[in-house]
Amino acid sequence: MSVETADFIVVGAGIAGASVAYELSLQGKVIVLEMESSPGYHSTGRSAAVMSENYGPALWSRLVTASRAFLETPPDGFTDVPLVTPRGALFLARDGEQAQLAAQADELLSRGASIELTSSEEALRFCPVIRTSEFVSALYEPDCMDIDTNALLTGYLKVLRARGGRLVTNGKVEVLERSGNVWRISTPSGSFEAPVIVNAAGGWVQEIASLAGLPYRNVVPFRRTAVVFDPPSGSSIQSWPMTFDVAETFYFKPEAGRIMVSPVDMAMSEPCDAQADELEVAIAIDRIHTYTTMEVRTVKHKWGGLRTFAPDHEPVIGRDAQEPSFIWLAGQGGNGVMGGAAAARLAASFALNAEIPPDIAALGITTENVSPGRACVLDASGDKPVVGTFEAFG
């Protein structure tokens, strides 16, 4: 059987794989291997599709800041439609959470983001269904955007092809071995070889590392549930922001004329075709009834998706501690779509043995703080996550 060679092989055609393939295709031939019959089937196709610079842990939210320019002004020819449209985000604090809200405001201001701090009463002008008795203050982030994830993914893959790269679907990596200076890979759709491999397999990154003969690493998928219901009749929801509570027990947003809500569940999972969890569907409905004046009469749609985390929830991007030709682009958690553009440039710099892009370095991202070799990622016991490790980081 013939073997197709490339300079870089990327495993996974979610937003991570497609974006790093796009970056690397400027430097050489890239082949993306995707086990499903189409790209974006798993986490990337199941997200809430927003970009907020106030969402996620410190380093991820900085990568969101570094991704904003690409999403707002993509290169010529990338897409015919806007990648982002205004949404706004509202973060609601209960009594006792004001200090946390103030710290978030300071961090956002230090990165040049626009914000407005208000009382929960005043926040009704942004979102008229908040149960204001539950909250005391709010932070409004006007520059939070909805992302057209499909246009983003399609744009990356279109440019990849135009630069001579290739997406191989039904291309599940089944064998992965280092032989001399190349990785040899077998899939049902052919065999491939490249000196450098990028592991962008989302919830499956650990499986890919194991196939490569690398030890267990603490990068673990967790399921999240989303529920869609009809808004109150007569309400004009399109201008409502994505609304979160600071304690992270729910968020909701307008979604194609309906409301999407998540109870922000986080249940450790095997990598799989995730489904909505029925108990979490009930909790999502209860949160809407408790924290808003809306009523959920019928669930119109629901789904589950995987979010994959290192214990500290920060990016896992860089050369493997044991095998430097194996590049990790993992641990995207809940920021993979919004922060993906900068994460891809960062991963590409490691694949190319280049400096971290200066705008990303200026935000305090270093080789060490995103490294797959940092202690909490390496600190696994044999073949499973250390119990308590993830909880310790919250």
Ligand X SMILES: Cc1cc2nc3c(=O)[nH]c(=O)nc-3n(C[C@H](O)[C@H](O)[C@H](O)COP(=O)(O)OP(=O)(O)OC[C@H]3O[C@@H](n4cnc5c(N)ncnc54)[C@H](O)[C@@H]3O)c2cc1C
- Give me the count of residues in the chain: 394
Q: Does 54 bind ligand X (CB under 6 A)?
A: no
Q: Are β-strands 258-262 and 251-255 bridged in parallel, bridged antiparallel, or unpaired?
A: antiparallel
Sheet order of strands, 196-199 included = 166-168, 30-33, 8-11, 196-199, 326-330, 316-319
Q: Least distance from C-beta 165 to ligand X, angstroms?
A: 16
Q: Least distance from C-beta 198 to ligand X, angstroms?
A: 11
62, 87, 217, 224: which one binds ligand X (CB under 6 A): 224
Which residue, 120 or 254, is less far from ligand X as judged by CB?
254
The site for ligand X, by CB under 6 A, has a size of: 41
Residue 230 to residues 277, 281, 294, 297, Cα–Cα distance (Å):
20, 15, 10, 8
Which residue, 120 or 197, is less far from ligand X as judged by CB?
197
Q: Does 260 bind ligand X (CB under 6 A)?
A: no
Report the SS3 class of residue 231. Answer: coil
Residue list 11-50, contact with ligand X (CB under 6 A): 11-17, 33-36, 41-44, 46-50
Number of Cβ atoms within 10 Å of the Cβ of 391 = 8
Host H or E run for residue 192: strand 190-194
Residue list 332-371, contact with ligand X (CB under 6 A): 332-338
Separation CA 145–CA 154 (nearest Å): 19
Which residue, 62 or 307, is less far from ligand X as judged by CB?
307
Q: Does 204 bind ligand X (CB under 6 A)?
A: yes
* C-alpha R_g of the chain: 21
Q: Are β-strands 3-5 and 190-194 bridged in parallel, bridged antiparallel, or unpaired?
A: parallel
Q: Does 200 bind ligand X (CB under 6 A)?
A: yes
Per CB under 6 A, the segment of 108-116, 125-133, 233-241, 331-339 that binds ligand X is 331-339
Assigned token pair, 254: 């307008």
Which residue, 10 or 296, is less far from ligand X as judged by CB?
10
DSSP symbol at 164? T
Separation CA 21–CA 28 (nearest Å): 10
Site string for ligand X, 159-198 (x = CB under 6 A): ------------xxx-------------------------
Q: Does 145 bind ligand X (CB under 6 A)?
A: no
Assigned token pair, 93: 């604090």
Q: Least distance from C-beta 119 to ligand X, angstroms?
A: 26
* Contact (CB, 8 A) for 389 and 376: yes
Q: Are β-strands 326-330 and 316-319 bridged in parallel, bridged antiparallel, or unpaired?
A: antiparallel
199, 262, 349, 371: which one binds ligand X (CB under 6 A): 262
Q: Least distance from C-beta 223 to ligand X, angstroms?
A: 8
Nearest to 86 by CA among 125, 105, 114: 114
Which residue, 137 or 302, is less far from ligand X as judged by CB?
302
Q: Least distance from C-beta 190 to ligand X, angstroms?
A: 12
Residue type, 284: A
Per CB under 6 A, the segment of 6-14, 75-83, 282-290, 356-364 that binds ligand X is 6-14
Q: Least distance from C-beta 211 to ligand X, angstroms?
A: 7
57, 88, 202, 318: which one binds ligand X (CB under 6 A): 202
Separation CA 321–CA 367 (nearest Å): 12
Interface residues toward ligand X, by CB under 6 A: 11-17, 33-36, 41-44, 46-50, 171-173, 200-204, 208, 224, 226, 262, 305, 307, 332-338
